[in-house]
Amino acid sequence: MNDPVVWLQWILIAGIIASSVFSVINSFRSRRSKDANQRALYAAKMNISMGVMLILIAFIQMFVYTGSTLRVIVGAVFMLLGLFNIFAGIRNRSVIRTVMERNAAGKQR
């Protein structure tokens, strides 16, 4: 159990479980929300969580197991999908925050 690879694997698995839980929670919140802005905000948070999960899966594929060509290709695809999800989630979150701030400022006038 003193092997650093085993510790890395358990840390990555814990991260995958945590990001999966956050993704499921934000998915339920997104589907149950009545307000369209809140729904979009929860969907953006879900995208970010899924992106983190995909990147952690890619790390497991690329670094923990012995490197075969197929494993590296699958890891690279997961890495690209994860990066895209994080980018899209952050961008959508910032756009929705701006819209929500404009709506709040418009209601105060």
Task: Look up the pTM and report it.
Answer: 0.88
**Which residue from 104, 89, 26 is spatially nearest to 52, judged by alpha carbons?**
89
More confident of the two residues 33 and 63? 33
Instruction: Count Cβ atoms below 10 Å from residue 109 Cβ, excluding itself.
Output: 4
Tokens of 104: 């709040």
Give the distance, in angstroms, between the CA of residue 65 and the centroid of all CA atoms in the same chain: 23
Instruction: Reply yes or no on whether the pLDDT at 65 is more than 80.
Output: no
Tokens of 71: 């494993």
**Which residue from 45, 46, 43, 35 is spatially nearest to 103, judged by alpha carbons?**
35
Tell me: the pLDDT tens digits for 15-56? 999 999 999 999 999 999 999 999 999 999 999 999 999 999
